[in-house]
Amino acid sequence: MASVQEIMVETEVRMGKSVDALSRDLSAIRTGRASPALLDNLMVDYYGAPTPLKQIASISVPEPRVLMVQPWDKQAVQGVEKGILKSDLGLVPNTDGSVIRIVIPTLTEERRRDLVRVVKGKVEDAHVSARNVRRDSLEKLRAEERNKTISKDDARRAQTQLQQITDAHVSRMSALGREKEAEVMEV
């Protein structure tokens, strides 16, 4: 059986991973600025196999609104270009031999609002994830209480601590969401 402390540590770790996942998801959402994170989840066809772009090319930001993708293998340029065009990012690559430049277009007000909705959806998904972790931990605590390995008072204290951990992580997630919303709405 797990101790209360082990349950709390596991809860902290799992909720921390949810916050990290949210942060990664939000960094991939396009704002008015160029960011290599926009292309983090992009898969391209590399010799017939879907491959993450960041494994076959360097991605840099030479100017605030321009991404530069430089594949290490010159044969991959065309596959990278097709992968960027096929993606749902709405980006148009310009190729000049071995380097691909992507000019980040300015966002329309409507597109900004759509992106804010996407951000809110991702934050809500992260909140659900945190609540699921809390539920799992709560079940473990109740099992410990039923098995008489912890007292009712200890179980109540642990539940209070569990709620505090959950509240802290949920507020961090909400703060990340608010920051991203402000970034998206910034003109």
Per-residue model confidence as pLDDT tens digits over 37-82: 788 778 888 888 888 888 888 888 888 888 898 998 888 888 888 8
What residue has token string 């065009």?
85
Domain 4-27+111-185 top-level CATH class: mainly alpha
φ/ψ bin of 86: left (φ > 0), alpha (ψ from -120 to 50), beta (otherwise): alpha
Whole-prediction pTM value?
0.73
What residue has token string 């321009």?
66
Q: Where are the domains of the chain?
A: 4-27+111-185, 36-103
Domain 36-103 top-level CATH class: alpha beta
